[in-house]
């Protein structure tokens, strides 16, 4: 970690009061910690938008009985083998499965894979949790 630098921020009093309430509710020790997290969040989003290498997890909930769905899921994963680095399959109950894919690659490509998987008939819910590789975050 680099040297800590102090700087001032001007903000509307009402906006600051709402921010203070939020960071208290979230359990932050102080404003500095909360602001650091906000800055990191925006930097990670920028990495995704700029097409840099990023990592994430695609979570899919799907109907186990939907004909050919598992084949389609596997085919898409193999077709995008450069993005999919690991998977985990969970049998939730006799009807529902949870598929978790760890992914790594250019942000737009990872986003597109998540959209393709989510759009398959029989997928009940899909979500992409995106983050940075950590190389650019202090």
Q: What is the pLDDT of residues 21-67, one digit of tens each?
A: 999 999 999 999 999 999 999 998 888 888 889 999 999 999 999 98
Q: Give the model's confidence band at 1: pLDDT under 50 very low, under 70 low, under 90 confident, else very high.
A: low
Quick one: 75 and 120 in the same domain?
A: yes
Give the CATH number of the domain where residue 86 resides: 3.30.70.1150
- The domain in which residue 78 lies consists of 53-132
For the segment 83-122, what is each residue's pLDDT rounded down to a tens digit? 999 999 999 999 999 999 999 999 999 999 999 999 999 9
Residues 71 and 117 in one domain: yes
Number of domains in the chain: 2
Domain identity same for 57 and 84: yes
CATH of the domain at 38: 1.10.1220
- Asked if 90 and 104 sit in the same domain, the reply is yes
Cα dihedral 36, 48, 81, 58 in deg (nearest 10):
60
Euclidean distance between CA atoms 128 and 113, whole angstroms: 10
pLDDT at 78: 96
How far apart are the C-alpha atoms of 117 and 32, rounded to whole Å?
A: 38
């Amino acid at each position: 970690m680099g040297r800590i630098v102090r700087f001032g921020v001007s903000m509307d009093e009402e906006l600051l009061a709402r921010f203070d309430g939020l960071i208290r509710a979230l359990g932050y020790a102080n404003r500095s910690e909360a602001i650091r997290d906000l800055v990191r969040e925006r930097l990670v989003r920028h990495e995704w938008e700029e097409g840099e290498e990023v990592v994430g997890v695609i979570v899919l909930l799907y109907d186990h009985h939907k004909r050919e769905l598992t084949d389609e899921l596997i085919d898409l994963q193999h077709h995008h083998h450069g993005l999919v680095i690991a998977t985990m399959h969970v049998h939730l109950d006799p009807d529902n499965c949870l598929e978790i894919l760890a992914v790594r690659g250019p942000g737009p490509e990872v986003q597109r894979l998540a959209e393709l998987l989510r759009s398959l008939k029989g997928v009940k819910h899909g979500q992409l949790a995106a983050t940075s590789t950590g190389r650019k975050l202090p």
